């Protein structure tokens, strides 16, 4: 009989695909764009543009010292990878939650890899409409946000279906 953890190993494909798509997309942008270069994809709505975010979510901590930022991101990143990795692989994790943890884990690994290798995160997806402009982001950010939304919905479903 196979150990129980071997049935969870195929799930590793999800964070690895997320990480791979993120790394591939960043490499493609880095090879084709100069920092700050903008190429409209859907005029008036969506551009590709190369930017570097030394901070965290929405540029927070961007003005902190390099040492403080690196220490903070190292600790927070390691804790996130350990927590979401554990929840992702533990026995009994429901399928939708495993999907959400896998997406969050893949995204966290993608942005952490950027911080370790470049000192900042490569961002390139740029959405805007009229005077409204969203922060530039990347595939790892998409995975984290989609995973967090799925996790929230899954928790609501489990809460709603829990016996009272």
Is residue 147 within 8 A of residue 101, CB to CB? The reply is: yes
Is residue 143 within 8 A of residue 106, CB to CB? The reply is: yes
114 is catalytic: no
Catalytic-labelled residue, pool 22, 114, 126, 141: 141
Smallest CA-to-CA distance from 58 within 136, 6, 158, 132 is with: 136
Catalytic-labelled residue, pool 66, 123, 126, 131: 123
Instruction: Give Cα separations from 87 to 8, 30, 90, 107, 125 (angstroms).
Output: 12, 33, 5, 15, 29
Residues noted as catalytic? 123, 141
């Amino acid at each position: 009989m196979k150990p129980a953890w071997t049935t969870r190993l195929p799930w590793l494909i999800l964070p690895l695909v997320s990480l791979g798509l993120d790394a591939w997309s960043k490499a493609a942008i880095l090879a084709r764009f100069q920092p700050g270069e903008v190429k409209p994809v859907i005029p008036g709505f969506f551009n590709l543009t190369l930017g570097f975010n030394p901070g965290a979510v929405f540029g927070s901590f961007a003005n902190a010292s390099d040492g403080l930022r690196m220490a903070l991101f190292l600790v927070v990143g390691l804790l996130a990878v350990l927590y979401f990795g554990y929840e992702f692989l533990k026995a009994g994790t429901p399928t939708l939650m495993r999907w959400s943890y896998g997406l969050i884990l893949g995204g966290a690994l993608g942005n952490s890899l950027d911080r370790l290798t470049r000192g900042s995160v490569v961002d390139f997806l740029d959405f805007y409409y009229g005077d409204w402009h969203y922060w530039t982001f990347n595939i790892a950010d998409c995975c984290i946000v989609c995973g967090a939304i799925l996790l929230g919905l899954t928790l609501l479903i489990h809460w709603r279906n829990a016996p009272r």
